[in-house]
Every structure is written in structure tokens, then in C-alpha cells.
């Protein structure tokens, strides 16, 4: 019977247990409170039901009670808040060395790219036990990346990157839903996450046909678009060198400092004049409309690879030349 | 005055303007005034939504806001501010004239107010037409290349420039709509004032219309620096 | 809205003040005050708005507490909208962890 | 005071004038309330019809009953119609309109003509919405999220947006009228501390209507501008922020939930003391908690956006503030329950609805705690868990309160009694049908079924079937009251002036009241809920009907 009526979603990520724990706590709390209120109503209604000869006793109220039932719930609420906040903080803080997967959502499909270059549509293969960070953007409207078995959900927005991360702990095939209404085929924008044992995953990786890693693709776009003429790694060009900048603070011409994260790189490609690096001129052309979201992710991946410590994994080896 | 005693009789012992469900004229006036102020409160929140959008984008896209602001005609903007302030004066004096029962003065002041109001809209129209000529109206034909040429010191992203002009047109457009409604109200007031409907005992409509007009003026008092004066200092 | 009538001299005085402030704010915008240009512009605008509200709209003399409460509440709610939204915009791209 | 002999010919607001004109041009708040009653009932059944189609479609996992686009329009228009054309006007515009002047001892609202104007605005908005529906509908979801609504939807977004803009204007004017009326029109002796809690609740509601609705209005105007004039305020391709729209939208639309629920709380605060024959427990606490909800309700809007891509830090702020608003709601529930303690409780139909309200609102509120908890919200937001939660509040809460109030005041409104056993039966059906419809959705939500899905994976089917089955029961429960209310208008027993032996000025005038409400201006010398001074009609052997 429970094949058709499962009452609990699969628990397939490291974070899912924490969410479930708080959820179970809240279910117990809510059940207790509901039962308490319901039975109080029931008991009062029966015990004090209208009977000939008895009159109600007029009671004005009680400040002590009012304070009690304001302060005690507030205390409990703050515990729930703190507990929920801790989980949220973990969910929103990807480990630094997480493997990145770039996601481009569009009406009505998910396009996923592994750094090694595998591209998938509506299907995501990941190994058990590895931290995975999704770097996501949308080509059109707002979508939302939702894997119930991992208890993660993150809206995917046009015009910027949002991120989410998970570590799968149980091999299997899980739903990937779009959770933000996005038009006609919103309910068709579903896919699956295939969690594999590491060995199987390696086999899958090497089996797929790839067209080069993300970073190396990004590098060739970097050459094609002529970015390399100004952003040089050997000498100081007309644009700032991009080596080692990722994740570091950047001094801007107007005195502000920003962190060079994915959104900053993205903005600097699409709208270069928005945040000019100190000491440089706003001479870079605008690439808005000239590069696709996929090309953008590849460029971002390339720029990021320039900041990876030497030997930090195979994914950046080829791009370290130059 | 011109309302005949017949009307008075129909209303029993209270005056013709006191509606049946109020006990006293004072209660009716207080209710009307409170109602108007509450309405103005909702208007603050109505414009408030745009002020939020303005605040966020001005923080994000200061350069484009600065350039867009420079491209507005500050002379016309200042003149328009002065025109509105003058209209506020005539309204305030008009309310006073109504209070004191000076009917002719009231009519003159209402006419002056209408003239100022129309002048404001006319000047606004001239400014909008200039923006239309310069292709500064957001949309497919938007073109910021003149700004990029005129202000080489400012880094302008044309698409972000559209956001400034979107806000400019939304804010001034809705303000102008309020002006048009105000002119409608004041035409109505003028018509009845000319017929002598308002007396020192009953001039609530003038008072409420005045409150509305002043409010629209106050909105402009903020719009002027927020849109025209973002960054006018000499470019270095 | 009430018995109280202000003298017309008062109105002319306010009017002149408003005109002067308008010219001042338009002029001072061309002077480089650094970040204070915006502050000055807004302070002047607020002064002008106060003059209009307090005198032309009679809030100073001829109105009761309730009117003032309505004004304060509306402005307070506007600030809620602005400030709580800024709580998001001010920290949205801050990195943590 | 409840023993006047009833003569049917007695002049009252219903029979003072006849003819369609006397209704369409009326400025009597009681007649306008009835105009609203008819119009919102109409829209309630339209919205309910959409809901049934939605439930039927979800009976099977495949999208087989209607097309995907049709389904998207169905849930969109279900939401828009129910929120803006039923729930928001429901209690305020019908019961509030009828009762606010009566309860405070006034002859009418402060601005009777503006009151009529708000009904006309509502009708204009309603006609626009109907026109929008029959000429193709709109598919953005009632939330109008950009950039889908501004740049991608090919449906009638502009018309729907303008319709809601006009409906919002109607709502603002109603709220404005109430605030002014409550401030200026109270009868002598009716101090703030003597106001019925229904009035306090409506006062708080009106504050939200006044300060929140304009923000929705400007937001919709900007969406319309973006579609019609190609402005780019929310357009991400021009650097606009889609989240800005959400901030503005929820600044109104979260407090809007309190526009729906606060008046229902006011209704419950009238019903519970009456059928417990007791002064309400903690009058001050309940009154102040209404105001607290109205204020705190404005501080929590971004809890709808925890996964939308906003700042992590502000999510913490909004989560913490969200718990703040739960406190006054809890205070109310505890006080209502405490009111029954040592009372003399009778199980009349309105009281059954009040029980239902307290129970379902408690569950709705408690599941709100789940959603305010950041870690849980990430998983369950935009799933059926949210759907279930807000239907517990809006249908289990607001609609239960509305029906309870309709039953409570129906004798006053119509001068007739409805058949009591049918009333109890319908209340039971609504309660059971409601729980069967929406409880499974909590489980569905935690299982991960996203909302607004036209087709879904097969493992969700059993729970969906339960939900659909419940919805048909619920539909019966809603049709029944309409039928017997209509029936009672002609055949119901004539009602006493005060059939329940209730406190409150509205029960001291005739049923139905005369056009100017009171034959003589009342003067209040007693506190609210003075049940110790009011004889219990049921206590004198003679049952309710006379």
C-alpha cells in the first residue's frame, strides 16, 4: 500500500536529516498544541454546557495569564527561529572546495554543465559523498531548483547567479522539480538527480561525450572575443589581470570594494562600466546580448580557474598554460 | 447663499449641507478632514513604492542616474517648481478667502490656481517632448549614445540608463496624473464657488481640495531634487 | 478647517521662503559638496515640505492630534518599507562562511 | 429588551423603499452590505468553481482534464477571484458594512456616498475581471511575479492588473470609511474601551487596507507600465531586479492575509462570549493584539522570499520578526478558549463555526511556525505545504469566521431565522470536508509536490484523490447555507430583535433595523459583553424559536 502512499520523502543528502529533525520537533509541538486547544474547547464545552439553573461566572481576565501565554510562546518561537536559522545558514554556505555544477534554466528545461565538460538536460549525475555547489542562472523567467530528497530549493533568477549546495549520501534517482511557476509547461520542467557510487560516477564521467572542460571552453571564448588582448597574464594590459582575483576583494575606481565573486565577474562582462577596477579606464565594450548564458558560465568558470591553487584538481590543468 | 430656504426647510433644523447622519456640522467637518488626511496617507504609500524602486536603483546605478539627471532641463524644472509653489500659495489664499466669505476673491484665486496647474502640465509636456526627441523614452527606440558622448567622464550602461528614465517617466507621469485630477477637482470647485455655494459656515470642499493640491505640490518638492539634482556638480 | 484664519502676510512669507529655498537648492546642486549634495538637497526639500504641510495645510495651527498621527504613521510606514527592504539590498551580496 | 412583539409591516431598511433604483442608488450602509453580499457570493462560487476544476484535474497524475495553459489560468483566476473579490471584501464589506455603524450607535458610516462608490468600484473591477476571464484569462498566478508577468505571459495581464487596481481602490475607500466612522461617529458613552472587539478588529483591518493597498496599486501600475509602455523597472535584461517586485508585492500581500483573518477574529470574539454567556476573557489583550497584528504584519513580508535569492542576513531578520506576529495570534486563541471557562455554553450554529475557526486557525497558525523557520521553509515553500497552510488560515479561518458571522447576524440582517438543524449539519460538513481537502496537502507538501503543477509524479496520487474527494464535500457544505438562507428569507420564522440574547447595540434595535438604525440615539452606559445583565433567552425553558 505504501508504494502508492509514501508519507515521507527520501532522505538523500547530508543536510536532509537536520531539516527532518526540526520538522519532527515542530510536528510534535504542533500536535501537542492542537490537541491541547482542541481538548480544552471540548472539555469546556461539555463541562460548562448550558444547563437549567446554572449561570456563567463572569471573569474579567488575568494579566498574569496574558503575560504567561505571550512570553512562553515567544520563548519557544525563538528556539525554533534559532534552530531554523542554523540549518538555513548551513544550507546557504557551500564548502569552499565544493565541486561546481553550472545550471542554466529556461522555459522549460534544466541545462546542467559539469566543470569537466559534461552537459546534461533535465538530468544530473552526482557521486555520493562529494560536496556539490550549483551555480545557477536563468535565461528567461524565474525558476526554482528543487530536490525534495535533498531538502534544498533555490530560485533561479535571470540576470544573476544564485547558488545552492548539497552532499548526496544515498545512491538513487530523485526528483528535480521547478518550484517557481514559470509558464505553460511549469509542471513539465522536471528532471531527475541520479546519485551514484563514486566508481560508477567516474565511469559515467569518462563515458560521456564531452567537448572539453568548462574552463577550457571558456578559455577559447576568451581568445575568440579578444578579451585576452587587454586582460593579459604575462604583463599588465589595458585591463586588469584576472589571475588570482577570484574570491578576493577588488578596489574600485569610486572607492568601494567588492568581492570578485561569480556575480561580479558576470556583471563585469555584461556591463563593464558598472564597477571599474581602480586604476583602469572604462574602455571595455559591453557584452550584453553578445554572449549566451552558457558562454557566460564558461567564461566565469575560466576566470575562476585562473585563481585555483596549482594542482587543485585536474579540472584546471589545461588552462594553467599560457 | 443661492441655495434657497426651501432646501433649508427640507433639512429640518440643520443647514442644507449637514447630512442627516451627522449630529453637528463640526462632526461632519472633522470627519471629512480626517478622511482626506487618511487618503493622503495612502497616497504617501502609493508614491512610496516608486521611492523604494528609486532608492535601490539609484544606489546600484548612480552613474546612469547622474547622467540622466544632467540631461533634464534644470531651468524648466526649477520654473515648474516655482509655478507649483505659486499655485500652492493661491490655494492657501483661496481657502482663506472661502473662510472669510470673500466669494469674488475665491473665484479669482481658483482661476489662478488652475492657470498655474495648466502651466505646470504644459511645461512638463515640453520637457517630455524633448525627451521623446532625444530618444530617451524607454523601449525599443531608446538611445543613450548622446549621453555617452556628452558625459564621457561618466561610465554609462545604456540598459541601466533605461531604468532611470523608466522611473523618471513613471514618477513624473503619475505626478502629472495627480495634477490632472487636481485640475478636475478645482474646476468643479470653481464652478460651485462661482455659484456661491461656499460660505464661511460651509467651505469643506475647498479645504479638502486644497489639502489634496498641497499634497501633490509636496510630492513634486521631493521629485524635483530626486530627479533633476542627482549630480550637477562640475565634472572633473 | 476651523475658526482659525491665518493672516495673508503669513502666507506670503511662507511663499517667499519656498521660492528662495527652490532657487537655493537648484543653485547649490552645482557646487561640489561631495556626498553632501544629496543630503543638502533632501534637507531643503524636507524644509519646503514642512513649510507647506505646517502652514499651507494648517497642521501647525488648526489641526488636532489625530491629523498629526496620520501623517506620522504614514511616514513611519514608508520608512518601514524602505528600511526593511534595504536590509535585503544592503547585505545581499555580502559573502559569508 | 428582547420581547417586543414583531409586526411584519414594521418599517425597516428592507421595506422602506422598493424598486431596483432604491437599491442601486442607496446610501444606506445596510443595503450596500447586501449589495456586497450578493456580489461576493457570486464571485465566491466562481472562484469555487475554478477550485473544483483544479481539484478534478489533480485527481490523476497526468494532465488530462484540461490543457496546461487552461490549468494555469484556472489557478491564477481562482487566486485572484478568491483573494481580491471574495476574501478581502468578505467580512469587512458585508458584515462590517452592516454592523460597524450599528455596533457603535451611528446612523450610518461617515461617508455613505463613498461607501456606495466603493461598491461600484468593486463592481467595475469585477466586470473587468469577468471580461478578462471570458476573453481568455490570465496565467501569471495571482502573484504576478516578474519578469514572467511583464515580458513572457501572452495573456490578459494588463486587464487583470487594472481590475485588481480598481478593486484595491474600493478596499481602500472601505477602510477609510471605517476608520473615520469609528473615530467620529461613536454614540455618546461609546468609549474606546467599550467598543466591541469586532470593531477593534475592523479598525486594525482598515489600517492595513489604508497603508498596504496603495503599495500593491503602484506595483501593479508599474507592471502595467512595463507591459504597455515598455518601461523597465523590473526588467532583468536592463538591470532591473525581479526581487524588487516581490518586495513591493508582499509588502501588501502579506498584510493582506490579516485583512482577511482579523475581521474573522472579530466575529469569533462576538460569538464566543454570546454562547458562553460571559464577558470575554482578556478584553484589552484581544483589542491590543488586533492592533499588534496590524503593525507587526507589515514587518514580515519577506518571509515569502527566503529562497528567492535575497540576502541571507535579511532572511534572518524577517524570520525572527515573523515569530513576533505569531504571539498576538496565540494570545487571541488562548483568550477565546479561556472565555469558555466556567461559562454556560450552547451549541448553536454560529458557535460551531467559532469552534471550527479556533481549531482550524490554530492549525493554520502552528503550520505557519514551520514556514517561518528558515531551514524548513527552504524545503516546503512553493509546495502544497504552503497551499495547505494558507487555506487553513483563509478558508478554515476567514471563511469559517464569515459563515459563523453570517449565521450569527442573519436574524438581524433578514429578520428571519434559518433552520437551526440544517445550520449545524452544514457546519459539520464544512469542517469535515475542509479537513479532508486540505490536511493531505500538508503531507503532499513535505513529500515535495510543488504548487501550481498541472501534472505530477504518480506517488502523489493517493493524497490528491483524498483532497479532491474532500473538496466535493466542502462544496456541498458551502452550497447548503446559501440555499437555506435564501429559503429563510421567505419561509424562515420571524426573528426576535435579539434572538441570541446577545450584548451589543446592534441587538437593541429592531430586526431588521430601521433605515437610520435606531429610533432614538443610543447612549452607552455599560461595558461591552455585559452578559451578566442580559437574560439568556434559552434559559427560560422556551427554546430559541418563539
Report yes or no: D333 and D363 within 8 Å, Cβ to Cβ: no
Q: Is residue A58 part of a domain?
A: no
Supply the CATH number for residue A131's domain: 2.60.40.420
Q: Is the pLDDT of residue C76 over 80?
A: yes
Please tell me the distance from the alpha carbon of residue D221 to that of residue D211, in angstroms, as a whole number: 17
Considering just the CA atoms, what is the radius of gyration of chain C in Å? 19
Please tell me the distance from the alpha carbon of residue A299 to that of residue A113, in angstroms, as a whole number: 13
Q: Which domain holds residue A256?
A: 226-320
Report yes or no: C64 and D184 within 8 Å, Cβ to Cβ: no
pLDDT band at B9 (very low <50, low <70, confident <90, very high): very low
**Nearest-Cα residue of chain A relative to residue C94:** A259
Q: Is the pLDDT of residue B5 over 60?
A: no
Chain D residue numbers with beta carbons less than 8 Å from the beta carbon of A51 are 344
Q: Please compute the mean of the pLDDT values over residues B135-148 and round it to a whole number.
A: 91
User: Are the Cβ atoms of C85 and B52 closer than 8 angstroms?
Assistant: yes
Please tell me the distance from the alpha carbon of residue B193 to that of residue B214, in angstroms, as a whole number: 19
Report yes or no: D223 and D157 within 8 Å, Cβ to Cβ: yes
Single out the residue of D534, D540, D275 nearest to residue D424, CA to CA. D275
Considering just the CA atoms, what is the radius of gyration of chain D in Å? 23
Chain B residue numbers with beta carbons less than 8 Å from the beta carbon of D231 are 138-139, 166, 169-170
**Nearest-Cα residue of chain D relative to residue C81:** D251
Determine the residue among B52, B89, B120, B222 to mutate to test chain C binding: the one whose Cβ has the most chain C Cβ atoms within 10 Å: B89
Q: What is the pLDDT of residues B34-52, one digit of tens each?
A: 999 999 999 999 999 999 9
Please tell me the distance from the alpha carbon of residue D449 to that of residue D442, in angstroms, as a whole number: 10
Would you kindly state where each structural domain of chain C is located, as residue ranges? 8-89
Q: Please compute the mean of the pLDDT values over residues B17-36 and round it to a whole number.
A: 87
User: Are the Cβ atoms of B96 and C18 closer than 8 angstroms?
Assistant: no
Please tell me the distance from the alpha carbon of residue D214 to that of residue D142, in angstroms, as a whole number: 17
Better-scored residue on pLDDT, D331 or A257:
D331
User: Are the Cβ atoms of B31 and D185 closer than 8 angstroms?
Assistant: yes
User: Are the Cβ atoms of A273 and B61 closer than 8 angstroms?
Assistant: no
Average pLDDT, chain B: 90
Q: Scanning the structure block, which residue is given the C-alpha cell 532625444? A: B134
Q: Between B and D, how many residue pairs show a Cβ–Cβ distance under 8 A?
A: 122
Q: How far is C15 from chain D (nearest CA, A)?
A: 31
Average pLDDT, chain A: 86
Q: How far is C91 from chain D (nearest CA, A)?
A: 6
For residue B4, the model assigns a pLDDT of: 35
Chain C residue numbers with beta carbons less than 8 Å from the beta carbon of B44 are 74-75, 77-78
User: Are the Cβ atoms of A149 and D448 closer than 8 angstroms?
Assistant: yes
How many structural domains comprise chain A?
A: 3
Report yes or no: A69 and D334 within 8 Å, Cβ to Cβ: yes
Chain D residue numbers with beta carbons less than 8 Å from the beta carbon of C93 are 311
Q: How far is A264 from chain C (nearest CA, A)?
A: 9
pLDDT band at B228 (very low <50, low <70, confident <90, very high): very high
Q: Please compute the mean of the pLDDT values over residues D18-22 and round it to a whole number.
A: 89
CATH number, domain D26-539: 1.20.210.10
User: Are the Cβ atoms of D313 and C66 closer than 8 angstroms?
Assistant: no
- The three-class DSSP label of residue A102 is strand
Interface of B with A in 39-68 (CB under 8 A): 61, 63
Please tell me the distance from the alpha carbon of residue B231 to that of residue A98, in angstroms, as a whole number: 44
For residue B208, the model assigns a pLDDT of: 95
Q: What is the pLDDT of residues D319-352, one digit of tens each?
A: 999 999 999 999 999 999 999 999 999 999 999 9
**Nearest-Cα residue of chain A relative to residue B61:** A274
Q: Is the pLDDT of residue D91 over 60?
A: yes
Chain D residue numbers with beta carbons less than 8 Å from the beta carbon of A55 are 277, 344, 536, 539
User: Are the Cβ atoms of D176 and B39 closer than 8 angstroms?
Assistant: yes
Chain A residue numbers with beta carbons less than 8 Å from the beta carbon of D307 are 144, 153-155
**Nearest-Cα residue of chain D relative to residue A73:** D327
Report yes or no: D495 and D416 within 8 Å, Cβ to Cβ: yes
Report yes or no: D285 and D198 within 8 Å, Cβ to Cβ: no
For residue A309, the model assigns a pLDDT of: 64
Q: Is residue A177 part of a domain?
A: yes
Does B109 contact chain A (CB < 8 Å)?
no
Other chains touching C, judged by 3 or more CB pairs under 8 Å: A, B, D
User: Are the Cβ atoms of B78 and C42 closer than 8 angstroms?
Assistant: no
Please tell me the distance from the alpha carbon of residue D97 to that of residue D449, in angstroms, as a whole number: 40
User: Is the same domain home to A230 and A197?
Assistant: no
Q: How far is B64 from chain A (nearest CA, A)?
A: 9
Query: How is the beta sheet containing A152-156 ordered, strand by strand?
Result: A123-127, A191-196, A172-178, A143-147, A152-156
Report yes or no: A182 and A107 within 8 Å, Cβ to Cβ: yes
At residue A134, φ and ψ (nearest 5 deg) are -95, 125
Single out the residue of D99, D103, D100 nearest to residue D181, CA to CA. D100
| DSSP state letter for C92 | T
Average pLDDT, chain D: 93
Would you kindly state where each structural domain of chain D is located, as residue ranges? 26-539
What's the predicted TM-score (pTM) here? 0.92
Closest by Cβ to B41, choosing from D211, D226, D229: D211
Determine the residue among B64, B153, B155, B156 to mutate to test chain A binding: the one whose Cβ has the most chain A Cβ atoms within 10 Å: B155
Q: What is the pLDDT of residues D465-495, one digit of tens each?
A: 999 999 999 999 999 999 999 999 999 999 9
Chain A residue numbers with beta carbons less than 8 Å from the beta carbon of D453 are 186-187
| ipTM here | 0.90
Q: Is residue A73 part of a domain?
A: yes
User: Are the Cβ atoms of D111 and B35 closer than 8 angstroms?
Assistant: yes
Does B232 contact chain A (CB < 8 Å)?
no
User: Is the same domain home to A122 and A193?
Assistant: yes
Q: Provide the angle, in degrees to the nearest 10, between the axes of the packed helices D349-372 and D400-414.
A: 150
Closest by Cβ to D239, choosing from A41, A179, A271: A271
User: Are the Cβ atoms of B53 and D213 closer than 8 angstroms?
Assistant: no
Please tell me the distance from the alpha carbon of residue A19 to that of residue A22, in angstroms, as a whole number: 5
Please tell me the distance from the alpha carbon of residue C43 to that of residue A135, in angstroms, as a whole number: 44
CATH class (in words) of the domain with range B26-228: mainly alpha
User: Are the Cβ atoms of A261 and C97 closer than 8 angstroms?
Assistant: no
Chain D residue numbers with beta carbons less than 8 Å from the beta carbon of C71 are none
Q: What is the pLDDT of residues D419-435, one digit of tens each?
A: 999 999 999 999 999 99
Amino acid at each position: 500500500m505504501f508504494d502508492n502512499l509514501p508519507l515521507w520523502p527520501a532522505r538523500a543528502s547530508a543536510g536532509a536529516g537536520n531539516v527532518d529533525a526540526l520538522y519532527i520537533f515542530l510536528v510534535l509541538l504542533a500536535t501537542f498544541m492542537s490537541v491541547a486547544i482542541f481538548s480544552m474547547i471540548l472539555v469546556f464545552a461539555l463541562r460548562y454546557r448550558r444547563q437549567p439553573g446554572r449561570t456563567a461566572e463572569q471573569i474579567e481576565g488575568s494579566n498574569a495569564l496574558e503575560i504567561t501565554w505571550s512570553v512562553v510562546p515567544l520563548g519557544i518561537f525563538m528556539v525554533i527561529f534559532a534552530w531554523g536559522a542554523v540549518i538555513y545558514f548551513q544550507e546557504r554556505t557551500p564548502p569552499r572546495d565544493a565541486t561546481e555544477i553550472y545550471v542554466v534554466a529556461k522555459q522549460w528545461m534544466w541545462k546542467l554543465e559539469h566543470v569537466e565538460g559534461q552537459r546534461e538536460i533535465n538530468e544530473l549525475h552526482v557521486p555520493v559523498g562529494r560536496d556539490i555547489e550549483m551555480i545557477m542562472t536563468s535565461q528567461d523567467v524565474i525558476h526554482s531548483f528543487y530536490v525534495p530528497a535533498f531538502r534544498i530549493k533555490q530560485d533561479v533568477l535571470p540576470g544573476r547567479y544564485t547558488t545552492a549546495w548539497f552532499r548526496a549520501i544515498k545512491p538513487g534517482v530523485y526528483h528535480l522539480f521547478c518550484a517557481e511557476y514559470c509558464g505553460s509547461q511549469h509542471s513539465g520542467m522536471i528532471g531527475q538527480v541520479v546519485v551514484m557510487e563514486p566508481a560508477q560516477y567516474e565511469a559515467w564521467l569518462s563515458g560521456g561525450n564531452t567537448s572539453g572542460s568548462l574552463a577550457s571552453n571558456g578559455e577559447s571564448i576568451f581568445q575568440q572575443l579578444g578579451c585576452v588582448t587587454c586582460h593579459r597574464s604575462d604583463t599588465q594590459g589595458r585591463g586588469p589581470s584576472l589571475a588570482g582575483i577570484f574570491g578576493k576583494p577588488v578596489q574600485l575606481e569610486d572607492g568601494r570594494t567588492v568581492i570578485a565573486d561569480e556575480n561580479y565577474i558576470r556583471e563585469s562582462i555584461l556591463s563593464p562600466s558598472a564597477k571599474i577596477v581602480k586604476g583602469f579606464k572604462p574602455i571595455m565594450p559591453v557584452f550584453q546580448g553578445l554572449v549566451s548564458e552558457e558562454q557566460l558560465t564558461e567564461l566565469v568558470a575560466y576566470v575562476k580557474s585562473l585563481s585555483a591553487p596549482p594542482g587543485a584538481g585536474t579540472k584546471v590543468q589545461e588552462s594553467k598554460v599560457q | 447663499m443661492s441655495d434657497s430656504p426651501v432646501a433649508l426647510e427640507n433639512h429640518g433644523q440643520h443647514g442644507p449641507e449637514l447630512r442627516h447622519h451627522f449630529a453637528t456640522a463640526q462632526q461632519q467637518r472633522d470627519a471629512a478632514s480626517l478622511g482626506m488626511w487618511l487618503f493622503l496617507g495612502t497616497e504617501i504609500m502609493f508614491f512610496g513604492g516608486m521611492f523604494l524602486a528609486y532608492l535601490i536603483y539609484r544606489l546600484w546605478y548612480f552613474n546612469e542616474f547622474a547622467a540622466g539627471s544632467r540631461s533634464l532641463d534644470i531651468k524648466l524644472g526649477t520654473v515648474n517648481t516655482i509655478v507649483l509653489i505659486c499655485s500652492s500659495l493661491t490655494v492657501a489664499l483661496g481657502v482663506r478667502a472661502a473662510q472669510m466669505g470673500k466669494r469674488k476673491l475665491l473665484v479669482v484665486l481658483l482661476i489662478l490656481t488652475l492657470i498655474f496647474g495648466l502651466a505646470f502640465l504644459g511645461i512638463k509636456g515640453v520637457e517630455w517632448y524633448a525627451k521623446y526627441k532625444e530618444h530617451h523614452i524607454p523601449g525599443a527606440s531608446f538611445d543613450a549614445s548622446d549621453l555617452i558622448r556628452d558625459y564621457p567622464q561618466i561610465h554609462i550602461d545604456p540598459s541601466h540608463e533605461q531604468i532611470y528614465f523608466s522611473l523618471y517617466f513613471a514618477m513624473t507621469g503619475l505626478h502629472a496624473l495627480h495634477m490632472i485630477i487636481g485640475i478636475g477637482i478645482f474646476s468643479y470647485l470653481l464652478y460651485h464657488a462661482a455659484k456661491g455655494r461656499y460660505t464661511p459656515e460651509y467651505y469643506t470642499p475647498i479645504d479638502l481640495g486644497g489639502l489634496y493640491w498641497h499634497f501633490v505640490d509636496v510630492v513634486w518638492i521631493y521629485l524635483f531634487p530626486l530627479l533633476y539634482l542627482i549630480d550637477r556638480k562640475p565634472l572633473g | 478647517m476651523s475658526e482659525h484664519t491665518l493672516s495673508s502676510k503669513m502666507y506670503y512669507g511662507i511663499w517667499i521662503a519656498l521660492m528662495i529655498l527652490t532657487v537655493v537648492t537648484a543653485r547649490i546642486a552645482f557646487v561640489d559638496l561631495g556626498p553632501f549634495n544629496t543630503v543638502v538637497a533632501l534637507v531643503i526639500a524636507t524644509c519646503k515640505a514642512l513649510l507647506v504641510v505646517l502652514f499651507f495645510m494648517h497642521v501647525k495651527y488648526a489641526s488636532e492630534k489625530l491629523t498629526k498621527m496620520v501623517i506620522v504613521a504614514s511616514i513611519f510606514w514608508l520608512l518601514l518599507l524602505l528600511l526593511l527592504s534595504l536590509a535585503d539590498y544592503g547585505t545581499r551580496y555580502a559573502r559569508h562562511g | 429588551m428582547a420581547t417586543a412583539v414583531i409586526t411584519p409591516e414594521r418599517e425597516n431598511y428592507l421595506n422602506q423603499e422598493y424598486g431596483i433604483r432604491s437599491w442601486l442608488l442607496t446610501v444606506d450602509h445596510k443595503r450596500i452590505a447586501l449589495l456586497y453580499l450578493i456580489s461576493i457570493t457570486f464571485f465566491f462560487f466562481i472562484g469555487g468553481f475554478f477550485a473544483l476544476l483544479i481539484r478534478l484535474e489533480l485527481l490523476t497524475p497526468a494532465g488530462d482534464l484540461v490543457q496546461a495553459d487552461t490549468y494555469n489560468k484556472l489557478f491564477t483566476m481562482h487566486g485572484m477571484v478568491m483573494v481580491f473579490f471574495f476574501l478581502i471584501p468578505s467580512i469587512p464589506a458585508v458584515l462590517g458594512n452592516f454592523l460597524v455603524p450599528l455596533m457603535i450607535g451611528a446612523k450610518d458610516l461617515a461617508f455613505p456616498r463613498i461607501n456606495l462608490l466603493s461598491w461600484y468600484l468593486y463592481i467595475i473591477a469585477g466586470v473587468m475581471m469577468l471580461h478578462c476571464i471570458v476573453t481568455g484569462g490570465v496565467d501569471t498566478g495571482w502573484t504576478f511575479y516578474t519578469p514572467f508577468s511583464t515580458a513572457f505571459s501572452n495573456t490578459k495581464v494588463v486587464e487583470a492588473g487594472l481590475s485588481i487596481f480598481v478593486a484595491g481602490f474600493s478596499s481602500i475607500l472601505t477602510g477609510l470609511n471605517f476608520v473615520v466612522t469609528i473615530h467620529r461617529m461613536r454614540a455618546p458613552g461609546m468609549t474606546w474601551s467599550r467598543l466591541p472587539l469586532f470593531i477593534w478588529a475592523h479598525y486594525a483591518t482598515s489600517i492595513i487596507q489604508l497603508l498596504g493597498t496603495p503599495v500593491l496599486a503602484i506595483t501593479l501600475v508599474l507592471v502595467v507600465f512595463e507591459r504597455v509602455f515598455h518601461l523597465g523597472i523590473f526588467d532583468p535584461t536592463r538591470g532591473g531586479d525581479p526581487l524588487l517586485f516581490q518586495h513591493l508585492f508582499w509588502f501588501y500581500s502579506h498584510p493582506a492575509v490579516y485583512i482577511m483573518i482579523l475581521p474573522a477574529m472579530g466575529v469569533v470574539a462576538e460569538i464566543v462570549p454570546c454562547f458562553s454567556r460571559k464577558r470575554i476573557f482578556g478584553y484589552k489583550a484581544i483589542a491590543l493584539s488586533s492592533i499588534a497584528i496590524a503593525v507587526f504584519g507589515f514587518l514580515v513580508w519577506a518571509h515569502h522570499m527566503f529562497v528567492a535569492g535575497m540576502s541571507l542576513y535579511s532572511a534572518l531578520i524577517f524570520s525572527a520578526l515573523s515569530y513576533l506576529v505569531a504571539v498576538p495570534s496565540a494570545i487571541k486563541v488562548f483568550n477565546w478558549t479561556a472565555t469558555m471557562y466556567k461559562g454556560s455554553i450552547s451549541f448553536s450554529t454560529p458557535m460551531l463555526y467559532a469552534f471550527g475557526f479556533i481549531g482550524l486557525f490554530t492549525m493554520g497558525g502552528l503550520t505557519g511556525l514551520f514556514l517561518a523557520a528558515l531551514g524548513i521553509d527552504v524545503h516546503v515553500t512553493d509546495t502544497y505545504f504552503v497551499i495547505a497552510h494558507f487555506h487553513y488560515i483563509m478558508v478554515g479561518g476567514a471563511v469559517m469566521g464569515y459563515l459563523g458571522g453570517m449565521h450569527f447576524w442573519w436574524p438581524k440582517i433578514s429578520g428571519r431565522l434559518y433552520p437551526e438543524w440544517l445550520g449545524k449539519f452544514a457546519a459539520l460538513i464544512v469542517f469535515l470536508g475542509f479537513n479532508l481537502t486540505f490536511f493531505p496537502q500538508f503531507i503532499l507538501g513535505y513529500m515535495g509536490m510543488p504548487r501550481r503543477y498541472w501534472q505530477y509524479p504518480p506517488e502523489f496520487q493517493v493524497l490528491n484523490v483524498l483532497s479532491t474527494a474532500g473538496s466535493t464535500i466542502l462544496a456541498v457544505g458551502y452550497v447548503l447555507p446559501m440555499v437555506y438562507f435564501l429559503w429563510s428569507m421567505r419561509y424562515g420564522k420571524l426573528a426576535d430583535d435579539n434572538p441570541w440574547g446577545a450584548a451589543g447595540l446592534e441587538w437593541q434595535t429592531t430586526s431588521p433595523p430601521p433605515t437610520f438604525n435606531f429610533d432614538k440615539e443610543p447612549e452607552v452606559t455599560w461595558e461591552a459583553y455585559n452578559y451578566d445583565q442580559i437574560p439568556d433567552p434559552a434559559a427560560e425553558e422556551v427554546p430559541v424559536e418563539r
